[in-house]
């Protein structure tokens, strides 16, 4: 297994040590999660491109309607977590 040297800011290092957490394991999990996040974003972009080529660009009205739906979802989530 290759080795990699990683630098952490002092505050993160101190918190990691204070909680006696396994740094290598946490970093592996974080890197895997970020790679998966990026793969998902790329797949989403590809899907949107396919949709646009299939049905065309959304109209200004459709974009405004979608923005309204997103705002409602965000507002609902803020109330639940706030």
* Domain boundaries defined on the chain: 10-81
Place of tokens 């974080």: 30
pLDDT digits (tens, 9 = 90+) for 3-43: 999 999 999 999 999 999 999 999 999 999 999 999 999 99
pLDDT digits (tens, 9 = 90+) for 35-76: 999 999 999 999 999 999 999 999 999 999 999 999 999 998
Distances (CA, A) of 78 to 61, 64, 67, 71: 26, 21, 16, 10
Q: What is the pLDDT of residue 82?
A: 60
3-state secondary structure string across 42-53: HHHHHHHHHHHH
């Amino acid at each position: 297994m290759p080795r990699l040297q990683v630098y952490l800011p002092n505050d993160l290092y101190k918190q990691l040590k204070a909680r006696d957490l396994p740094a290598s394991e946490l970093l592996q999990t974080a890197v895997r999660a970020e790679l998966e996040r990026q793969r998902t974003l790329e797949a989403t972009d590809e899907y949107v491109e396919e949709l646009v080529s299939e049905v065309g660009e959304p109209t200004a009205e459709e974009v405004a309607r979608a923005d309204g739906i997103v705002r409602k979802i965000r507002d609902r989530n803020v109330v639940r977590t706030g």
